[in-house]
Structure 1
Amino acid sequence: MASLPLRPPARTSVVILTALVAALARPTPAAACGGMVFPEHEARVGGMSDQELAVVFGAEETVLVASARYEGVDAAEFAFVLPLASAPADVRDGNPALFLALDEYSAPRIAIYQNEDERMGLCGSSDKAGGGNSLGDPMGDGGDVMVIDRGETATYEYVVIGGDTGTAIADWLTDAGYPLPADYAAALGPYVANDWFFFAAKVKPAADSGVLAPIELHLPPAQPATFEVPLAIATHSMKPNAELRLTTYFIGGGPVLPENYAAQAVDDDELVALSETETNYAELEAAVLASDPEGAWVIDYSNPLYAGGLAEAYDQGTWAGRIDPETADRAWLEDFTARAGLDGLHLTRLRTALKPAQLRDLTLRAASGPPVDAVHGVEYDPDAGQGCQIDRTGRLPQLLLLVPVLAWIRRKPRRH
């Protein structure tokens, strides 16, 4: 990193804004994801509202860490079902530190430069417990249901099963203490037809519902083109006509984009500063999300990760008050970064908000193209009569180092 000069350029200032659309703000609390099941499920007094997902495509395994948020439900009273193409070799509690650090590292931010001297004319150019593997069901005759694995983490009790029909899976899970509403049997049917497994978990009675952990699953190695994210089942956990907000982080040998959805970055050439603290970024992002009636994703970030980057982002968020170290474990984050082999891989952050009719299982593809940066720069000239567009001269990295003060519009603190 370049050393800091003694003085910044005369009367040039910058304001850093976190670019989060209000509609994508995260509710609380959090838990692992999938199709959620909760009390009074069929009445839909509550429902899933958000999912966060991180997938690491490693050479020896694929690691999936998943978390979800919901509204109007007691965290201690729900279960969830996650279809998987392969049975997990290991199941652990994750930690909120991963998603908090990834957010600090890759969430969009706007740098607004103010030229107060003169107009420029142009704006710049777990360890498992419980029974082992079995093909029978000690809780009943099972018939066409196979119990692949049972276990528990500090937060969850879980089971991995397979079966011949969605009805058999739903009935077995209901008898085993994972009560599924009637509509879930049909929802499970397509996964059964493709010989998928079902990971079902419920919160342990002693778990602290205020800090429910994400779930961390270790799966066989896969390439993005062979990996599918089961989003469709979430429609059975949502309030009618509600949106499901999704933030995904794909980490692998290169950029990863949706195969069966449109995806694009916000066009920096259209970015305009409306005032000293406001831009049109939210409108540009909303336009991307509305660009396809079948649903579309915003590419927030696409660049290589570097050693220690997530830990540094965690520290930055802690220093700024956006991360509470009492609910997020930095040591866990460093351990995960090392054992998942994140150094030198590529991070792609994608985000969307989808109605039930737009939700379908997400297929992926390896992609190529220019990098997408998290920091966007634009100059505001109060005398110009309109905002100026993004600085394309390459001076943004230097200015971010030169400014004496960075003013943050803080995100709401997130509880897990």
Structure 2
Amino acid sequence: MLVSLQIGSLIAPAYACGCGAMVVDRNSQVSVDRETSVVSWSGGAEQIVMQLTVRGNAPEAAWIMPVPRRATVELGDASLFSELETLTAPVRETRHYFWPHADDWPFGGSGSTSGDSAAAPSAAAPVGVVGRERLGPFDVARLTATDPTALEGWLTENGFELPDRLSTALRPYVEQKWEYVAIRLAPQEKGGPLLGRLDPLRLRFASDEPVYPMRLSRLATTPQSLGLYVLAAHRMEPRGRIGGPAPEVTYAERVDTGRDGGAYPALGELTGGKPVFLTAISQSFPRPERIDGDHELRATAADTPYRTTYYRDELLTVGPVPAWVLTLLGGVAVAVAAVLLVARSRRRRPVAPPPPVMAPPPLR
């Protein structure tokens, strides 16, 4: 079985995606334009669904992903990602302001302005193949290893002629007794390059805590970005930055995956139709060589909802007239009316007659 798994001569890593390492031969290039992943965790069971959009001239490539426990692998549902994009899309709202800005009349402009503010048990043998499947364009092998040298030797014997950097990066996973999913990616049309959005893969494994493997991304030679959807009982967050800027939450709300008669069937299938808390996280890694671990996820102190909102600021108007103009005119009118009332009341006030003149008393 080991001899039958010939995945090709794979030499130098051209790209290391957030959840594994991708390698191609020395005469080819491949890059991942976008990596989107979903982590679903419930009661010690974790699922990861990954979808890559690639470009380059490589006719085939291989991808190695570490997992903490033995994994099952199958094709995922591509509609899952479109459903999540719809759910987490930013909303746009209008905010009105009262006093004119610099671009408003009478300072300038037309009276409105807008902008966006926007550990598995060890195997008996040093290396073992616990499964192999053909899933669409993917040839998938699931491996165990208890010795980093043996793992490196097996990979080399079966076509994975890995550079020292990748072998060294795999060592911590071997020491922690993780297992590995080795995936051969081939284009749908034989002989053509790997291009476009690949079919998603779905991995399932046991995990005491939700984790998203990231350590191998330190091999990347260009800045990396991560888009991660997390489905769990509560709002989730990474425990640390793992070598990048602070992760940013772009969406956090409880979602009923069975609402509207099954409006989100792919999401409902992934979660078993149960309500879950969906957290969308993004993070950039300008210097991927600083990545020093995997993303361990934990529940936040409170399930505070959040949604990215872009605001359009508009001057408050009443019909075509700015509200502040009407307010000033109204204030002037009230002041004028008060002055007129005071003047009018003074004209109508009766004049008191002078006191009578008393005659002097008679002389005696």
TM-score (norm 2): 0.65
Does 2:213 match 1:230?
Answer: yes
State the shift of 1:100 in Å: 2.2
Is 1:249 the counterpart of 2:249 in the alignment? no
Pick one of 160, 167, 190 that aligns with 1:185: 167
Deviations 1:134-178 (A, max 9, x none): x79xxxxxx621222222212211111121333322331232244
**What does residue range 77-116 of structure 1 map to in structure 2 within 5 Å?**
77-88=60-71, 90-113=72-95
CA shift digits 1:189-228 (9 cap, x unpaired) = 01000000011111246568545211101112x45xx232
**Which of 51, 57, 66 is the aligned partner of 2:50?**
66
- Matches of residues 324-403 of structure 1 in structure 2 within 5 Å? 334-335=265-266, 337-354=268-285, 355-359=287-291, 360-369=293-302, 370-381=304-315
CA distance in 2, matches of 1:32, 1:309: 32
Aligned pairs (5 A) from 1:129-208: 144-204=126-186, 206=188
Deviation of 1:303 after TM superposition, in Å, equals 0.5
Residues 104/339 of structure 1: CA separation in 2 closer, same or farther (3 Å cut): closer
Relative to structure 1, the CA distance from residue 32 to residue 261 in structure 2 (aligned partners, 3 Å threshold; closer, same or farther) is closer
Aligned to 1:301: 251
User: Could you say what secondary structure the match of 2:247 adopts?
Assistant: strand
The structure with more strand, counted as a fraction of residues: 2
Give 5+ residue unaligned stretches, structure 2: 1-16, 102-122, 318-364
Pair 348,336 (structure 1): closer, same or farther in 2 beyond 3 Å:
closer
Tell me if the contact between 2:54 and 2:198 (Cα under 8 Å) persists in the aligned partners.
Answer: no
Q: What do the CA deviations read for 1:328-352 (whole angstroms, capped 9, x no partner)?
A: xxxxx72552353253110000001
Q: Partner amino acid for 1:181? A: P
Tell me how far apart the structure 1 counterparts of residues 75 and 189 of structure 2 sit (CA, whole Å). Answer: 12
Instruction: Give 2:174's aligned amino acid.
Output: V
CA distance in 2, matches of 1:47, 1:53: 17
Q: CA offset at residue 231 of structure 1?
A: 0.7
Q: In 1, Cα distance between the equivalents of 2:267 and 2:150?
A: 37
Cα 1:339–1:100, aligned 2, differ >3 Å: closer, same or farther? closer
- The count of aligned residue pairs is 273
CA distance in structure 2 between the aligned counterparts of 1:302 and 1:32, rounded to whole angstroms? 22
Contact residue 235 and residue 356 of structure 1 kept, 8 A:
yes
Distance 1:339-1:232 versus aligned 2 partners, 3 A rule: closer
Give the % identical residues: 21
Structure 1 unaligned regions, length at least 5: 1-30, 124-134, 137-142, 263-292, 314-332, 384-416
Q: Is the 8 A contact 1:157 1:201 kept in 2?
A: yes
Q: Distance in 2 between matches of 1:382 and 1:175?
A: 72
Q: 1:339 to 1:363 in 2, by over 3 A?
A: closer
Deviations, residues 367-399 of structure 1 (Å, cap 9, x unaligned): 13321124344533399xxxxxxxxxxxxxxxx
Offset at 1:251? 0.3
**2:240 matches 1:260:** yes
The alignment status of 1:215 with 2:190, answered yes or no, reads: no
Pair 205,294 (structure 1): closer, same or farther in 2 beyond 3 Å: closer
Q: Give the direction of change, closer, same or farther, for the CA distance of 1:305–1:73 in structure 2 (3 Å limit).
A: farther
Distance 2:44 2:240 in 1: 26
Cα distance in 2, alignment partners of residues 147 and 380 from structure 1: 63
CA RMSD of aligned residues (A): 3.3
Contact 1:166 1:187 in 2 (8 A): no
Q: SS of the counterpart of 1:105? A: helix
TM-score (norm. length: structure 1): 0.58
- Is the CA contact 2:226–2:284 (under 8 Å) kept in the aligned structure 1? yes
